[in-house]
Amino acid sequence: MEVEWQIQSNALSESLTKLARHLEDEQDWLIGGSCSLWLQGVQVHQPPRDIDIYMDEQDIGNVHNKLNYMALDTPRLDTSGIYKSILSHYEIGNYTAELVGGFEVRSGGSHYCVNIRGLLKQEAPTLQMNGHHLYLMPLAHEYVFNLLRDRPDRYVPIAEVLKNNANKHRALLLEILQSNRWSKAHRASILDVIG
C-alpha cells in the first residue's frame, strides 16, 4: 500500500506542477478537497483521486482559456443537491481536475458562499512544488464545507488540526461565520473548533 501511495503521490505531484505552470499568471485560484488536505498534512483515508480548483465566478473564463487544450467540457452552471457552482473538467496528467467557480452550499438551514478573492486567498497557504506556486484552500473552509456536507471522515481530522493551532485559524473561521448564514447546530460546531 505504501509503494502504491508513493507512485500515486509522484503522479499527483506531476499533475499539480503542470497545473501550477499553466496558471502561473493567475493569482485567484485555490486547490481544495483531498489534495489540499493531503498537502497540509491532514490525514485522508484515501489518496486524492482528482484535483479541485476553486475560484470566484468572474475568474473562470481566464482559467478555462489557459487550460482549454486539456478541457473535457466547457464551464456550465451546476445545481446538484446542496451545491451551486460553475463547473468544468480537465485532464491534467493522470488526474481529472474540476474547476469550481462561484461555489455555494446550502445545507440544514445554513448557506455558505465561497469567497476566494475577498477572503480565502488572503489566508491561503502557499506551497512551492518543483519551482511553481500552489495556493491551498485554508483549513477553515475545508472544515465548514465538510461539516455542511456531513462528512465526519473529513471534518473530524480537520477539526483536530484546527484546534491544535486555534490562534492561527480563529480569525478566518470567525469571518466565515459572520459573513454567511448558519443554523444553530452548524454555528455551535464552528464555535467549538474556535474554542
The pLDDT value recorded for residue 2 is 40
Tell me whether residue 38 is in a domain.
Answer: yes
* 89, 97 contact by CB (below 8 A): yes
**CA geometry: angle at 126 spanning 63 and 32, to 5°?**
55
Read off the pLDDT of residues 149-176 as tens digits, 9 standing for 90 and up: 999 999 999 999 999 998 999 999 999 9
Read off the pLDDT of residues 87-107 as tens digits, 9 standing for 90 and up: 999 999 999 999 999 999 999
**Predicted TM-score (pTM) of this structure:** 0.93
Counted domains in the chain? 1
The pLDDT value recorded for residue 129 is 87
Indicate which CATH number applies to the domain containing 79.
Answer: 3.30.460.40
Tell me whether residue 22 is in a domain.
Answer: yes
Please count the CA atoms within 13 angstroms of the CA of 47 that sit on its side-chain side.
Answer: 14
Which residues in the chain land under pLDDT 70? Answer: 1-8
Longest pairwise C-alpha distance within the chain: 47
The pLDDT value recorded for residue 118 is 96
Q: Structural domain of residue 91, as residue ranges? A: 2-138
The pLDDT value recorded for residue 1 is 32
Tell me whether residue 131 is in a domain.
Answer: yes
Tell me whether residue 182 is in a domain.
Answer: no
